[in-house]
Structure 1
């Protein structure tokens, strides 16, 4: 989770920095609106994307071509790192603290939404050019929410409402700016710790003003008159608000943007340059999975890997099937019971040792929980990776795994598969193996 948050924050920081340096001062508000919303969603989603990076790493050991369970130990991942210890108490405290803050912010968000809905429901209203005019109270009017335009009582009763202000608010309605702000406010409920989203919200709000101003000037084509009207409204605010530099700063930026001109050629160059960065950022900030590219080479296993059958247990082995290795022709590989073998064949019989007893490290165990990389079988049954949360590494008595080649897996499935045995299951497995081991006869292929 921490890695995701860091990647998401760094990605948003870069994208927002690009906006502040190259886009904010250019007159292309439609593209900037698309860019700001895309930057937010891009930074949240890209770290969740996973892809393979193929490396040429030689197998750590050679697989056994005859063993009943094919074991590939040549993984491209290194499991030798020390276990990572975390404090459960600190983690629990942070989780509770995050949940409390998010719950408070969600409550505030819903309360503000309820206040607006209540005001709409109980205030006088009348339709106006595809929107709804609502009579409200307060000096900060007019403002817009969804398709509702809030104005003070005097403006609501006056049929000669300034046409420039009306066009401005109607632009907010028609361009559905409220949905942008609702999305950002909702994300802030869950990502309140990231100040970048707060800065991004301010940039989105300012760009909304640029879009609405642009609509006014295109329709009325009287920039000076419109600027004077804005100044008169700002001057009419209470003294407490006049002390806020933010109000004057936004007004100044709006005035500058009204007279700003960006050539179509310059705009296209900037836009294409910015869009060209998206695949680079996607590569840098998306999740990566290391995978081994070279195929394992099958070699004849050493005789030392096998055990000779105990001749005193011939009666116990009599019904155990014996497998014939690759050294035999295809038609001669049909398994036989041990009791059906000739004396010469019995001398060639070898027993594959049972899976050794070994427990995974903490790091191995945590990595197995990733379903994009690992497929897990526990006690002979396929399970969801998240079910490993019910166990600890010491609960696993033995495990083995293999690399799943692309031609052997369906799209989107794991790259490695592991079989795990719990302590109880492993004890039963050893008892069964003693009675019915995996027995083979192998001999070199004749030229």
Structure 2
């Protein structure tokens, strides 16, 4: 959880820097709107993306590399597994407190919406250019929420509201700006502790005003008159926090933006740069995993594992040993591999162990223990599955089980601490044993040979 929050916050910070540096003062408001919204989606979704990349590396090379790496660790994976100690309770306390605050904020959010709905129901409404005017008794400046424009009843009947203000609010309605605000407010109820979301709210609402101003100027084509109108209204108050309104605390920025001219070449360069950086951040935040990092390759990689197995039932004569691979350890400890044709006559006559797993059926108690996804990650027939899928199997359905302890530098460490590899009866007999017979792997330890 802490890593996720760190990644999302870092992403928001970087995207905010890109926006301030390249986009905020430029006059491409539609692009900016989608940039701001997609930035929020990226920041909170990208750290959750898991991308598995199949490795083209030969399994034999993996076996050899693992043998040379840490055979002691491999030996430890065969030993009896003890559950990891429970994590401290402080994380649970923080999650609980955060959840309570989010619940309070959600109630406030719902209360604000209920207040707006109450205003709609208690006051007269009039259909107007695809929107609905809500006539309020108090004197206010117009503001919008979804498809509703809230205005003063007295101003409406006295025709005391400038048409440019009506056009401004109608632009908010047609461009559905309220949906952006609702989305952001929902995020803030969950991630209320993230101060960057306040900056995002200010930027999104300011961009909404730019879009509405642009719509007004495209309609009336008199920027100077509209600027004087905004200045004259700048001291008046607006509506609720969930509504679009004429926020005249930022009037200066709006006035400057109306006269801003951005060359097309500059716009193309900046947009292309932002899109490139956006895609690059997505790939940087996503969790890439190599599918080749399978415990199966590890458990076939070390002679210590062979020594820990039960006595073999398959022998050299049961398999196609002439197409096998032979892992050799010299008396000086040097390790390498050969195929059958590369073996010397002396090596062919040496004691060689066939590396494979005999049947080892787990108990039902063990099967039940592995349902805990916080401790165990489960693979069935070389495929990652949800721990709950174990409930579909009986212990008699399993022919082999292999448990490995994750090192702290592995990809999945923290998501679970032990990896459980299971082979069903059908897979063991018809896939695994067939692979052992067709492409066997033998181990020859010259250190054990008598002089």
Runs of 4+ deviating beyond 3 Å: 52-59, 82-85, 137-140, 235-238, 246-249, 290-309, 320-324, 327-330, 348-357, 365-370
- Structure 1, unmatched stretches of 5+, are 63-72, 75-81, 239-245, 310-319, 331-347, 360-364, 389-397, 403-415, 422-439
CA shift in 2, pair 1:139/1:182, >3 Å:
same
Secondary structure at the counterpart of residue 135 of structure 1 = strand
Deviations 1:157-202 (A, max 9, x none): 1346311111101100110101111111111111111111121011
1:1-33 alpha-carbon deviations (Å, 9 max, x no partner) = 221111111111111111111101001111100
Distance 1:401 1:279, change over 3 A: farther
Contact 1:306 1:353 in 2 (8 A): yes
Distance 1:139 1:202, change over 3 A: farther
Match in the other structure for 2:201: 201
Q: d(CA) in 2 for partners of 1:230 and 1:31?
A: 25
Stretch of structure 1 that moved more, 159-168 or 266-275? 159-168
Within a 5 Å distance, the mapping from 1:378-397 to structure 2 comes to 384-385=386-387
| Structure 2: distance between partners of 1:94 and 1:248 | 39
Residue 257 of structure 2 is aligned to residue 230 of structure 1 = no
Give the match's secondary structure for 2:150.
Answer: strand
Between 283-292 and 43-52, the greater mean CA deviation after superposition: 283-292
Q: Structure 2 CA distance, aligned partners of 1:198 and 1:257?
A: 22
Pairwise CA distance, 1:230: 1.2
- Contact 1:50–1:288 at 8 Å: present in 2 too? yes
Q: Give 1:95 shift.
A: 2.3
Alignment of 1:148-297 (within 5 A): 148-159=148-159, 161-237=161-237, 249-292=249-292
Please, what TM-score do these two structures have when normalized by structure 1? 0.64
Q: Is the 8 A contact 1:305 1:352 kept in 2?
A: no
User: 1:375 is matched with which residue?
Assistant: 379
Name the SS for the 2:27 alignment partner. Answer: coil
Check 1:236–1:60 CA distance in 2 against 1; reply closer, same or farther (3 A cut): closer
Question: How far off its partner does 1:277 sit?
Answer: 1.1
Offset at residue 385 of structure 1 (A): 2.5
- TM-score of the pair, normalised by structure 2: 0.64
Does structure 1 residue 60 correspond to structure 2 residue 66? yes
SS class of match (2:114): helix
CA RMSD of superposed structures (Å): 4.5
8 Å contact from structure 1 (residues 126, 134) kept in 2: yes
Q: Distance in 2 between matches of 1:124 and 1:443?
A: 84
Structure 2 portions without partners, runs of 5+: 69-73, 76-82, 239-245, 324-351, 367-371, 391-399, 405-417, 424-436, 443-451
Q: CA contact under 8 A between 1:7 and 1:47: conserved in structure 2?
A: yes
Instruction: Name the SS for the 2:234 alignment partner.
Output: helix
- 3-state SS, counterpart of residue 218 of structure 2: helix
Deviation at 1:139, TM superposition (A): 5.2
2:233–2:248 CA contact under 8 A, matched in 1: no
Contact 2:142–2:152 under 8 Å retained in 1: yes
Change (3 A) 1:161 1:323: same
Residues 386 and 19 of structure 1, relative CA distance in 2, 3 Å threshold: farther
* Shift in alpha-carbon separation, 1:283–1:306, aligned structure 2, 3 A: closer
Alpha-carbon displacement from aligned partner over 1:234-270 (angstroms, at most 9, x marks no partner): 23459xxxxxxx9654110000101111111111110
Q: Check whether the contact 1:132–1:147 (CA below 8 A) recurs between aligned residues.
A: yes
Partner of residue 326, structure 1:
319
Contact 1:369 1:386 in 2 (8 A): no
Aligned to 1:335: none
Distance 1:349 1:60 in 2: 18
d(CA) in 1 for partners of 2:353, 2:269 = 75
- The 3 A distance-change label for structure 1 pair 44 and 139 is farther
Q: Count how many residue pairs are aligned between Structure 1 and Structure 2.
A: 340
> Secondary structure of the residue that 1:60 maps to in structure 2?
helix
Counterpart check, 1:418 vs 2:420: yes
Q: Which residue of 1 aligns with 2:47?
A: 47
